[in-house]
Chain A
């Protein structure tokens, strides 16, 4: 081993491929539950990661509007694929969460038992767009005037092992949205995968501690250069015609544009886009009772603005048409979100495009609305 100098935050070191599994074991031994991408049912999901062997090694993905295919890459690399519909929000903002339970006796209603302790997750393989999505949801769920306790507990404890993208898929547009294909901060460790090595950028003291005992070397100029060229190449593949600096204005000033009618003819209002989108945060509350009426449980579940009754109240629905609901989603994501949270809600991950059964391509729609708005 050439260089035994203790690595510091900000450094990039090189490890051999078997080092990844060793790293995962170190992280798990430190008390984190590793979760990460795995192949299941011809797709990529996020689940408990037992070891590096369970990662989708040797796979890549072909993605297009309404299309996702897992294919063999012909290489032995671990992270050639681009993630599927699942995103890390399922851990920080669980799809179904019991808020509280209550029980009634002669004296009235009493609070039920406490919920389980939150896990300390290690998110393995967080893509730059996904990290940007987590940071977007931080602004939603961690606020001075109201914090989500579950989100905060998980987020504070999460270990982030990010991975830069060298092989973007057909629906990625992170470079245009300013979120990828590489990430510079917000992670504990960040991997860039080359053929024989991982470059590991240390993002935090915690990350540094995890690589202390790994056989590693300082990253050579050659490997850094190879990674740099590959990332530039990836960036060139992830551009589109959206102009993020002006799309908010263009959309919000053209809420009656005929394009919305045109999209509405294709949209099924199925809500896939909102389920797959890593920044969508709408939720619903439901109360569940036992037959006796003496036990009640309140649950929070993911909701979608495409849900026909999302805006229903007291005998009326303010968004009864698909047109109005699609317009709400797009003008929120690429428009109002900016005023609410200081940045756009889209991170360019492409999930809404890949997983839309009607093949609606948000890149095309936003660009079209921008272009026609300028006229």
Chain B
């Protein structure tokens, strides 16, 4: 492409380079230890009405003076009143977010990233295997599936956490079950009053009958867990093209520009965070890549 052509196409690009817009904290919901969900609403009502995102995308939340953090959007895409972000408090910016109270302001840039390909997966059986803080990025996908339940085959949610106290969104499991999703939960360890499963997410594939031709697997969580979920899915002959993973890396710009979040040729913020495993396969298991 000539320079003239490149410059011409970038007139539009500059508009789309995503300014920071201001939102107000409407709700703060403590989830489990060190995790809370912030419900945000844009201060400009027309912006709130116009804002939309797809399941699996994220925003860059900005606290002046502290910086930005990439946070998955965890609310229902159809809910136009709020945009919820489930945050784990681990670094300077997220600890700043943990101190926010209703009425405080926060900058929002986004949404960014590729979403769960829910339209393309219509007609398939869905096997959603996730753990810990991997459930929030899948929650908007589950909301979508619940709303369009008849478009999908068998839908199973397999969710794991460290202990029963660290299971997230427990109050919603019944709703999801009522909508026709099989919800199975497991923990790494528990004490004597836990009536549920104790074991790790990947190994529970043994308990489910999977029609490999018809099944798509969606997974998100600690990378070790993801690795073994993929391993078990492949062992059951689910095609790499039918396995979708949401990854996380150090993100600074959210736009595929600063180079920090690269894995091989992919910018996780722009080519992901949701990837088809067949694309990731050559790089995913290379240590320290």
A-side residues, CB < 8 A to B, are: 102, 104, 108-109, 135, 138-149, 152, 155-156, 186, 252-253, 255-256, 281-287, 289, 293, 296, 303, 305, 310-315, 318-321, 323-324, 327-328, 331-332, 335-340
Contacts and interface: CB of A to CB of B under 8 A. Distances in A.
B249 A318 contact: yes
Contact of B90 (A289, A305, A315, A328): A315
B289 A287 contact: no
Contacts of B18: 146
A111 to B, nearest CB: 10
Contact of B14 (A109, A149, A315, A327): A149
Interface stretch (B61-69, B154-162, B193-201): B61-69
Contacts of B14: 147, 149, 152
Interface stretch (B134-142, B171-179, B181-189, B250-258): B250-258
Contact of A287 (B12, B67, B248, B283): B67
10 contacts: A104-B64, A142-B9, A142-B10, A147-B13, A148-B257, A149-B14, A281-B259, A285-B258, A296-B64, A303-B259
Nearest to B11: A147
Contacts of A327: 289
Nearest to A327: B289
B119 interface: no
Given A311-B260, A314-B91, A318-B249, A285 B68 contact: yes
Contacts of A338: 265
B110 to A, nearest CB: 12
A313 B65 contact: no
Contacts of B250: 310-313, 318
Nearest to A283: B258
Interface in B227-258: 248-250, 252-253, 255-258
Nearest to B270: A145
B45 interface: no
Contacts of A282: 258-260
B65 A293 contact: yes
B50 interface: no
B65 A255 contact: no
Given A284-B252, A303-B260, A336-B265, A138 B3 contact: yes
Nearest to A332: B262
B191 to A, nearest CB: 27
Given A147-B17, A287-B65, A323-B288, 18 more contacts: A108-B105, A142-B10, A142-B13, A145-B256, A146-B13, A149-B17, A152-B7, A152-B14, A256-B286, A281-B259, A284-B252, A284-B260, A285-B67, A285-B258, A287-B66, A310-B250, A311-B260, A324-B289
A143 B13 contact: yes
Interface in B33-84: 64-68
B13 A145 contact: yes
A145 B259 contact: no
B282 A289 contact: no
A337 B22 CA distance: 35
B248 A313 contact: yes
A321 B253 contact: no
A148 B229 CA distance: 39
Contacts of A331: 264
A146 B16 contact: yes
Nearest to B254: A146
Q: Chain B interface mostly helix, strand, loop or mixed? A: loop
Contacts of A340: 265, 267
A361 to B, nearest CB: 24
B132 to A, nearest CB: 12
B88 interface: yes
Nearest to B20: A100
Contacts of A156: 7
B40 to A, nearest CB: 15
Nearest to B252: A285
Interface string B257-285: 11110101101001000000000001100
Nearest to B94: A314
A97 to B, nearest CB: 13
Contacts of A284: 252, 258, 260
A340 to B, nearest CB: 5
Nearest to B253: A285
Contacts of A339: 265
A305 B12 contact: no
B249 A313 contact: yes
Contacts of A140: 257
Contacts of B259: 281-283, 303, 305
A102 B10 contact: no
A146 B257 contact: yes
B6 A138 contact: yes
Contacts of A135: 3
Nearest to A314: B90
Given A142-B13, A144-B10, A310-B250, A321 B65 contact: no
Interface string B77-101: 0000000000010110000000000
Contact of B88 (A314, A318, A336): A314
A351 B144 CA distance: 52
Contacts of A324: 287-289
A339 B14 CA distance: 24
A32 B161 CA distance: 62
Nearest to B66: A287
Nearest to A135: B3
A255 B289 contact: yes
Contacts of B65: 287, 289, 293, 296
B7 A303 contact: no
Contacts of B283: 255
Nearest to B267: A340
